[in-house]
């Protein structure tokens, strides 16, 4: 059985893997801890700037977080976010 994790679950798992508290993540992003908690619980989506910072802190590939291998399920909003993520990756490649 394949388990599909949500964006928030992937972020939470990566954060816990490096023993960071939610309050630590919120401080590093920076954002309110309550709003960060909402991202992990799937109540709120991160902005592109917040997503960028989360990826930097946790050393995650945004393509992993956004399940970009599954294109048939993308909405217009997903395509806009994909474009933003592609620009981010292009601008931050070594």
**68 part of a folded domain:** yes
**45 part of a folded domain:** yes
Quote the distance between the C-alpha of residue 84 and its chain's center.
Answer: 13
Contact status, residue 50 vs residue 39, Cβ threshold 8 Å: yes
Check which CATH number belongs to the domain holding 61 and give it: 1.10.260.40
> Tens digit of pLDDT for each residue in 12-66?
999 999 999 999 999 999 999 999 999 999 999 999 999 999 999 999 988 888 8
Residue-range definition of the domain harbouring residue 41:
7-91
In degrees, rounded to 5, the angle at the alpha carbon of residue 74 between the alpha carbons of residues 28 and 86 is: 50
**69 part of a folded domain:** yes
**1 part of a folded domain:** no
d(CA 55, CA 51): 6
7: pLDDT confidence band, cut at 50, 70 and 90?
Answer: very high
**2 part of a folded domain:** no
Q: Is the pTM of this model over 0.95?
A: no
Is residue 74 over pLDDT 70? no
**86 part of a folded domain:** yes
**13 part of a folded domain:** yes
Secondary structure (3-state) at 29: coil
Report the number of distinct structural domains present in the chain.
1
């Amino acid at each position: 059985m394949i388990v599909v994790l949500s964006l928030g679950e992937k972020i939470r798992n990566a954060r816990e893997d490096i023993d960071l508290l939610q309050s630590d993540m919120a401080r590093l992003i920076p954002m309110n801890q309550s709003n960060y908690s909402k991202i992990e619980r799937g109540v709120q989506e991160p902005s592109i700037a917040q997503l960028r910072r989360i990826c930097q802190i946790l050393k995650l590939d945004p393509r992993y977080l956004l399940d970009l291998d599954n294109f048939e399920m993308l909405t217009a909003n997903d395509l806009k976010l994909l474009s933003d993520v592609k620009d981010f990756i292009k601008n931050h490649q070594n």
